[in-house]
Amino acid sequence: MASVTSSSTSSTSPVESALCAVDGGRAWSVEALACLRREAARSADTHLLQLRFPAYPGIDFYFKDEAAHPSGSLKHRLARSLFLYALCNGRLQAGQTVVDASSGSTAISEAWFARLLGLPFVAVMPACTAPPKIEAVRALGGRCELTDPGTCPQQRAREIAADGACFLDQFGLAERATDWRGNNNIAESILGQMAQEPHPAPAWVVCGAGTGGTSATIGRYLRYRGLQTQLCVADPAGAAFARGWSTRDRGACASQPTLVEGIGRPRVEPCFLFEIVDEVVEVADAESIAATWLLQDLLGRRYGGSSGTNLVACLQLASRMREHGARGSIVSLLCDRGERYHDTLFDPGWLTRHGIDIQGPLATLRDSLHR
């Protein structure tokens, strides 16, 4: 079998052009790192959107619009970190194929960075991944290898890596690849943007658990700064993080599948850190999807299912604060673009085929904002 490291692109990348007269793989790595730093400097920070609801006086809601990243999701930050980590550990070389296992958004962001560096990219994805995500990877020059339910995407990615590719391993490396002490990570960005708000230190920050990297970064940074802000993970009902967190059981598995892509893992991933999470809120799929539709009404554009999961958790936490007469702020994330779910979460026919009726949950959520 031919080694995948011999793969080449049809055109010379900006990185390769800059190094055409320089010998040695180390020089390529130096320029690749500089290329990633330039990209980070060009990428403006994402917006923090504020919402207030009559039912929650004295409680401000903020949603960080991570869908505004160039590759369309929260995973833009993670993908950049994974490439940096691979480069700085000497695992990624000029012309080398890059591979990872992903349900979509991470793969899209990784394909974006692979194209930036002129590297071939393979995404190992479950066959049930939303078609627009698959198309997005391919549009960026990546190749998608789709796996059936009986195949572990991570294992297949390792097999491809054994033939010479660089395995970015988002599920194994997410919590260590990101610099959680600062360097404009997502937690530092949130607190910087909150500095002039009425309640600059949030009562809660809410996020999902896909790789576990975002919750690890936020939880560590909150403690590093000595803040009383609490961290909540919003997880689909019966997912592995929720089950494992309640008992600290790293062998926990999901009790049921979820239709919300990107979170709700079937098993406890290596990067899931239970000890820095203060609360887990489990959300049924129908509620998450209904909340996703509600976000479109509130913000004028569509976001993915995990953003809906986050919204439901925010409202539950706000209800607790209201019961105790507390005031403050709650911050969460808008994780990816809703256009990727045009044929699934926003398709009434698809919802019917999957036994999801959002009308009841949607009416309940709307009512909860005003009473």
Residues 269-295: tens digit of each pLDDT: 999 999 999 999 999 999 999 999 999
Instruction: At 290, give phi and psi (nearest 5°).
Output: -60, -40
- Confidence at residue 172, expressed as pLDDT on a 0 to 100 scale: 95
Each residue's pLDDT, cut to its tens digit, for the chain (371 residues) gives 344 443 444 455 656 555 444 455 689 999 999 999 999 988 868 999 999 999 999 999 999 999 999 999 999 999 999 999 999 999 999 999 999 999 889 999 999 999 999 999 999 998 988 888 999 999 999 999 999 988 899 999 999 999 999 999 999 999 999 888 877 799 999 999 999 999 999 999 999 999 999 999 999 999 999 999 999 999 999 999 999 999 999 999 999 999 999 999 999 999 999 999 999 999 999 999 999 999 999 999 999 999 999 999 999 999 999 999 999 999 999 999 999 999 999 999 999 999 999 999 999 999 999 98
**Distance in angstroms (rounded) separating the CA atoms of residues 337 and 299:** 13
**Distance in angstroms (rounded) separating the CA atoms of residues 368 and 326:** 18
State the amino acid at position 160 in one-letter form. I
Residues in the chain: 371
**Distance in angstroms (rounded) separating the CA atoms of residues 254 and 258:** 9
State the amino acid at position 197 in one-letter form. E
State the amino acid at position 51 in one-letter form. L
Q: Which helix (H) or strand (E) holds 42?
A: helix 25-42
Q: How far apart are the first and last CA of the chain?
A: 65
By the 8 A CB rule, do 243 and 260 touch? no
- How is residue 47 annotated by DSSP? P
Q: Which helix (H) or strand (E) holds 101?
A: strand 98-101
How far apart, in Å, are the Cα atoms of 73 and each of 23, 79, 234?
36, 10, 17
Tokens of 22: 């320089």
By the 8 A CB rule, do 309 and 299 touch? no
Tokens of 46: 């994402």
- The pTM (predicted TM-score) of the whole model is 0.90
Ordered by where they begin, the domains of the chain are 43-70+181-368 (3.40.50.1100)
